[in-house]
């Protein structure tokens, strides 16, 4: 059975939206879905607030109850019939994310065992056939095929295998 490793932030959990929500809460500025799709958070905000994402991301509540990326629950449920599924997230950078991420996965993917959850940093340590991730840096030394999941920050990044949404993952892998 082939194995798929799946990143969390911007692939199944919408951290980008959380940045925007907190900025709206703190400064009133509203963002349209089109803006959020096209631009990174730091590009959208008032330049006087540049760097605020660093403050937000280390807050204890940042990773709690993140919105689910559309389509991932249905597609991963079906992938799980034909592949070994592991969630592999570079959580070590944010110790505040460890417990919220574990709780989030338990809530949204209760059929994925704790044995198949990986909190790491350098993803070249992952032994899988595919890695679905929004960050190409993890593909450079990855043993399998990296699949770039489109996110606001990677529109202009070059990578040979890219998907724009979970329906495209279904078409590619099922």
Q: Which is nearer to a copy of itself, 89 or 154 (CB)?
A: 89
Q: Does 93 sit near a copy of itself (CB under 8 A)?
A: yes
Other C-beta atoms closer than 10 Å to the C-beta of 33 total 9
- The tokens for 136 are 């190409």
Q: Does 85 bind a copy of itself (CB under 8 A)?
A: no
Q: Which is nearer to a copy of itself, 20 or 123 (CB)?
A: 123
Q: Which stretch binds a copy of itself (CB under 8 A): 31-39, 69-77, 115-123, 161-169?
A: 115-123
Beta-carbon count within 10 A of 37 CB: 13
58: Cβ contacts below 8 Å, ≥ 6 apart: 94, 96
* Torsion 4-33-55-155 (CA) sign: positive
Check binding of 136 to a copy of itself (CB under 8 A): no
- Which range binds a copy of itself by CB under 8 A, 25-33, 40-48, 70-78, 108-116? 108-116
- Residues acting as catalytic residues: 7, 9
């Amino acid at each position: 059975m082939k194995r798929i490793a799946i990143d969390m932030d911007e692939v199944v959990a919408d951290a980008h939206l959380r940045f925007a929500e907190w900025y709206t809460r703190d400064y009133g500025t509203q963002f349209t879905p089109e803006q959020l799709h096209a631009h990174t958070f730091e590009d959208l905000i008032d330049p006087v607030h540049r760097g605020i994402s660093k403050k937000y991301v280390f807050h204890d509540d940042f990773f709690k109850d993140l919105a689910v990326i559309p389509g991932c629950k249905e597609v991963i449920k079906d992938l799980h019939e034909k592949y070994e599924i592991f969630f592999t997230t570079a959580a070590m950078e944010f110790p505040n994310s460890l417990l919220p991420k574990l709780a989030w996965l338990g809530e949204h993917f209760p059929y994925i065992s704790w044995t198949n959850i990986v909190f790491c940093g350098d993803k070249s340590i992952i032994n899988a056939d595919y890695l679905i991730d929004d960050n190409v840096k993890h593909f450079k030394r990855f043993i399998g095929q990296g699949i770039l999941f489109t996110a606001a920050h990677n529109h202009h990044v070059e990578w040979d295998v890219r998907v724009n949404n979970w329906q495209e993952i279904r078409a590619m892998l099922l």
